[in-house]
Each structure stands twice: as structure tokens, then as C-alpha cells.
Chain A
């Protein structure tokens, strides 16, 4: 992992915070010979939201299953609150939201929540769960009658039931409309603010970008990179240009414009790491956007259609996980 620079826009959690969950050198080989995880190590710290990203089959679910104590590693160790995740003591402090095909349909929302609250010695107050998950008014409906988004929110409520210190959320906002998704984001942020740790797996990269303090990218069972969303984006953009150095880590920006300047010319400018032409537009990746722009505007009076943006997490993700 390259040395990382702290980003100003990052909501950093103290790096010294307690580790609440960890995988240490975990390898997981299934009975059919598939090696899902390959010497993977990762830590989750108190009060942070971590997004675990990776393409399908990268080993995300295996990693989460190990931490939930639903599976055991072939080698290496898994620890949750310094205990085995299969121990009730560890489970009493975790909450889980999984992608499930079907929950018992003939139980009411209220009954589902009460059932799960009953598993924990100090559950979250019922009213608080209902409010946090946005279930007010539908508490008496049967689970089978709910819309997709309402079902998803009920499963979120179940994860909160025990007022856990560590929460696993697998694709929490699938099927939610924008408003409900934003609502859930607010709840997830407030959990972290209360010192809870959230591990999120999602296919919505903008969700990971908006929510996570830290992003962990894995592929083929191995760690690809880990860092704040900004760091991961920079690493992704850098991985596109082989001649990048650690110094260019940081404020990478993407400049799009129509210009007559040649790629060769642009690459010679300070900070520019990558140049690409798409139709009439030129796309420039630069670590010193202000300097690059100043020079470009001075040299090309006819420069137009200018746009400056941060690299997308999506691009970084694709760059980092592409087959080499």
C-alpha cells in the first residue's frame, strides 16, 4: 500500500481508534477448491464506516460471512471484539442486514422487530428503531404486503434491533428511492457518530463515496487498496498512467475541454499524468489542476466546453480491479 496523504475533505476517524473487527492473513478455500480469500488482512475501527468493494466473485461475501461467524477460515484468524465471531458474546454486539430472498411474510413489521429485539440483553428502544428505519405508520403491516423499499427498511430495523456496536450492511439501499436512500445514509452516519462501526458492501459506488470514511477494494480474494474515498480515487487515476509517482497522490482532477493542444504538448505540462481524446473533447488527468488550466488557457484562446471534475470512484474502481 502506498503512503497515503490525508485529504482535507475526508471525515477521518482517529487512526488510533480501537480495532473492533479484524481479519488476519485469512485464506478461505471452499470444498470445491475455489480460493475465495487469499491471505487477506483488514481491520475495522470504532466509529468508522467502511465500504468493502470488489467485482462479483471478489470475495466480499466470503469476508463478511467470516466476520459474521457463518463460516470459518481455512487459515488465518478472524476476531470480533477480541472474540471468535461464532461466540454469542460477539454476536450480541453485532447487527446484520443481509440480502435475503424472503422473510416470513405473515409476521407484522412490529413482530419482526420485537422478535429480534428479544435476542439482545439491551436492545434499542422500539420507538427509536421504528423512527430510525422510517417505518412509522407501517408497523402493523404484514411483511408480505410491503413494497421492496419497505422490506429493505424493515431488514435495516432488524439490524438495529440490538443496538449493536458493529453493523454489517449488505447492499442496504437496493430498491430504495432517492429520498429513502438519503434517509438511510443519514441513519448510517449517525450510527458512526455514536461510535458504532459499520461495514457496508454495495454496488452503488456513489454510495460508498458519500458514506464511507474508508474504502477497501478487494479482487480475487486479495486486498487491492484501502484508503479514504479521495485516496482510492487518486490511486485509481494513477494506476491509469504508469509514470505516476507518490507525489501526485492527492488532488487529482479531470479536465474536459475542446482544445487544439496536442496530447504530447499537454503531457509535458506540470502535473498532467494522462491525456485521452474522445470525439472532439480532450480528457486530461492532472495533479495540479490550477497550473495546468492556467497554461492551457494561455496557449489556446479558443479553448471551450471546459469542465473540471474529481475523478469518479467508479473509474478508479474499474482501473483498480481490471485484469492485469
Chain B
């Protein structure tokens, strides 16, 4: 066997620059693809916009909670709701589909760095979250007499982007552990109750005591508290505890995803 004469490329195969370039292309096409997929982009942006218009702007006009107008309070809540939807449906359901169709297998057989693929999906969720927060803010300012300073807006964007990480991790865990056919259904069964239980639709303090006890187990609760804090609403618990809550949830989800991935590998 004269394999010695076949030289492998001398160029380092896994350079950071190469990975970054692939990630950027991957992210650009992932965003383009999802934006063009009307069923995704219209519903993921449309739902929070519709709910915010209805519950934050049309009902409860001129009311306030603890000195902050309902329109501004709800802006924070629906921003979290929007970020959650973008990540769960974009990353979770999207990945699950590509996994079941064999597309991911083709990608894995190619020299694409797997991390570039995952980060591209996560970044796309961040981009959709940013769009949603911006649309909601514009609606609030235009129709709900909401006053937000540039700093508050910047904080909301920052929290939305950070929030995409735990939600995308949850999407990854769902995609890897649930059969494709049931992924959209299961995602909805997590998306909607989780939003309600963490006070995204009704302020948490108006919810029954038992729900207030469950809520701290949910990443949406912590993200909502951070978001409300950024908008000048007195939040429950300390900032650092919420960040740790999100970090803990992310690690648990990545752990579940890892176990599910290992199990798939062994069966493949």
C-alpha cells in the first residue's frame, strides 16, 4: 500500500479564522432561510406582536403596576415571550427537522465544524429576538405612551441576546431527545405553559402562590425578572441570582442534549 505518497493538506484544517468564516456564512444563510420561511417568521414575530397589542396596548390602557405603566411592563414580558418562541421554534423544531430528514447527516459528513452550525442557529435566534424586541418597543412608543431611554432599550436587547442561550439549549435538548413528528407539539406544550407559569402573560404577583413557587425553576421567570429590572420595575430577587438561574438551566439542558446525543451515536 503506497499511502505514504498521499499527503494530507499541510494547511491547518481547524483554524479559528476558517471556523469563523464558516460560522458567519452559516449564520447568514440560516437567518435568510428562516426569514423567507413565512410560516416561521410571521408566527414567531406575529404572536408576541399580536398579544402585546391586545393585552399591553388595547386593554389595560393607562393602568400601572407598582409605578410602571402596564404597556411598559408588558413590553418586557412579551420581549421574553418572543425570544423564547424564536429559539424554541428556530433552533429546536428547525434542528429536529434537519435531523430527521438526513440533512444534518450530510452536513456532519462534510468538513463543516459542528460548533459553527450550532452557533449559527443560536445567533439566528438572537437576531429574531432582537427584531421582536425592536418591533414591540416601536409599538409601545408609538401607541402605548411608553418611554424608554436608549440605555433601557440597549439593556433589553442585551438580555434578549443572553436569553437566547438557555432557550436555544432547551431547543437542542428537545430536538435530540424527542421524535421529529412530536417535536412541534411538545415544543408548544412547553412554550405556552412555561410562558404563563413564569408570569409573561399575567404579572407573577397576581398568580396563585403555588405557581409563584414553581416559577423560579423556569428560565423565562429569571429572564423576565431581569428584563423588568432593566425597565425600572422593582424585581423579585437579586440580579445575580437570576443570572445563576439561567446559567444552571442552560447547563442542565446542555447535559440532557449531550446524553441524548451520546445515545443516538451509540444506536447509529
Contacts and interface: CB of A to CB of B under 8 A. Distances in A.
B6 to A, nearest CB: 5
A96 B105 CA distance: 10
Contacts of A83: 8
B47 to A, nearest CB: 20
A18 B6 CA distance: 8
A71 B109 contact: no
Contacts of A111: 29, 32
Nearest to B11: A121
B98 A104 contact: yes
B5 A18 contact: yes
Interface in B59-96: none
Interface in B104-149: 105-106, 108-113
A115 B21 CA distance: 11
Contacts of A137: none
Chain B interface bracket (under 10, 10 to 19, 20 to 34, 35 or more): 35 or more
B54 to A, nearest CB: 30
A118 interface: yes
**A22, A118, A121 — which one has the most chain B CB atoms within 10 A of its CB?**
A118
Contact of B106 (A19, A79, A96): A96
Contacts of A102: 97, 101, 103
B105 to A, nearest CB: 6
Given A115-B25, A115-B29, A101 B100 contact: yes
Contacts of B21: 118
Contacts of B106: 96, 98, 100, 103, 155, 158
Nearest to B94: A104
Nearest to A72: B265
Nearest to A79: B3
B17 to A, nearest CB: 11
A70 B109 contact: yes
Interface in A2-32: 16, 18-20, 22, 30-32
Contacts of A30: 267
Contacts of B110: 91, 96, 116, 119, 162
B13 interface: yes
Contacts of A101: 100-103
Contact of A88 (B1, B13, B33, B101): B13
A104 B3 contact: no
Nearest to A90: B8
**B33, B37, B266, B267 — which one has the most chain A CB atoms within 10 A of its CB?**
B33
B5 to A, nearest CB: 6
A104 B97 CA distance: 9
A83 B111 CA distance: 14
A106 B6 CA distance: 39
A82 B6 contact: yes
B218 interface: no
B9 A100 contact: no
The 8 closest A-B pairs by CB, nearest first: A102-B101, A101-B101, A100-B102, A91-B111, A88-B13, A106-B36, A82-B3, A68-B109
Interface of B: 1-6, 8-9, 11, 13-14, 18, 21-22, 25-26, 29, 32-34, 36-37, 97-98, 100-103, 105-106, 108-113, 266-268
6 contacts: A16-B2, A19-B2, A88-B14, A89-B8, A98-B105, A100-B103
Given A18-B5, A91-B111, A115-B29, 5 more contacts: A18-B1, A81-B3, A93-B9, A98-B105, A104-B103
